[in-house]
Amino acid sequence: MAETPSAARRSERARAAILAAATELIRELPYAKLSIEAIAARAGVGKQTIYRWWPSKGAVVFDAMLELYSGPEGVVLPDTGDIRADLRELVRGAIAELTDPSFEAFLRAMYVEIQQDPELGAAYRERLLLPQRAAIAERLAAGVRAGQLRADLDPDIAIDLLLGPIQSRWTLGLPGLTEDYADAALDAALDHLAP
């Protein structure tokens, strides 16, 4: 049986309230203390409403993260015509997100969740990682067409060169994720990627 328009509106309001509650609580609590019960209480819904849409706390939090990071046009990188400037914004932005004190613990917890939950890991790759990589690959392709990057560029290797050092340093908990590090990592990557 299909939902009535008013039931669909109530469902969408409940879903939005749950995602908003999860987003608020992520900023307030250590991830280990975040619970479905807390999200339900903050959203003003029952736990069963949450479990109707999401199988786990990690899945709710992942969808809340997607709401924050995605716009109506999807993932789009700037294209100012200056590949170095655009990639600089990308790598500096990655560092800013990873070192944001209000999200770092949450991001580390999500990193663990996607390693331990194969379904969530697959959703992460399909809904966030691969679209992000596709957007970066498109910007790199524009750089190739403009003659700013090497013609034989392999987009997967290029993306790994750009973001791999940052992700590795963050994953290992090493210090030094600064704008200067972003610029140095970008310079090293561009040594290989330039024509």
The answer to whether residue 151 sits within a structural domain is yes
107 versus 9: the higher-pLDDT residue is: 107
- Give the domain extent around 39: 5-57
The answer to whether residue 65 sits within a structural domain is no
98 versus 3: the higher-pLDDT residue is: 98
38 versus 29: the higher-pLDDT residue is: 38
pLDDT of residue 163: 95
Q: Would you say 21 and 32 are in contact if contact means Cβ atoms under 8 Å apart?
A: no
CB atoms within 10 A of CB 63: 19
Q: What is the mean pLDDT of residues 52-71?
A: 85
The model carries a pTM of: 0.81
Q: What is the mean pLDDT of residues 172-188?
A: 96
Residues 77 and 170 in one domain: yes
Q: How far apart are CA 118 and CA 121, in angstroms?
A: 5
Model confidence pLDDT, tens digit, residues 14-32: 999 999 999 889 888 888 8
The answer to whether residue 62 sits within a structural domain is no
pLDDT of residue 104: 80
pLDDT of residue 80: 94
pLDDT of residue 27: 82
Residues 15 and 105 in one domain: no
Q: How far apart are CA 65 and CA 97, in angstroms?
A: 12
- HSE at residue 98, side-chain half, CA atoms within 13 A, is 24
Share of the chain above pLDDT 90, in %: 64
Report for 76-80, 150-154, 171-175: range of highest mean pLDDT: 150-154
Element (H, E) at 73: none
pLDDT of residue 78: 85
> Is pLDDT above 70 for 177?
yes
Residues 76 and 46 in one domain: no
Residues 128 and 88 in one domain: yes
Q: Would you say 75 and 135 are in contact if contact means Cβ atoms under 8 Å apart?
A: yes
Model confidence pLDDT, tens digit, residues 105-154: 778 888 888 888 999 999 999 988 999 999 999 999 999 999 999 999 99
Q: Give the domain CATH number at 120.
A: 1.10.357.10
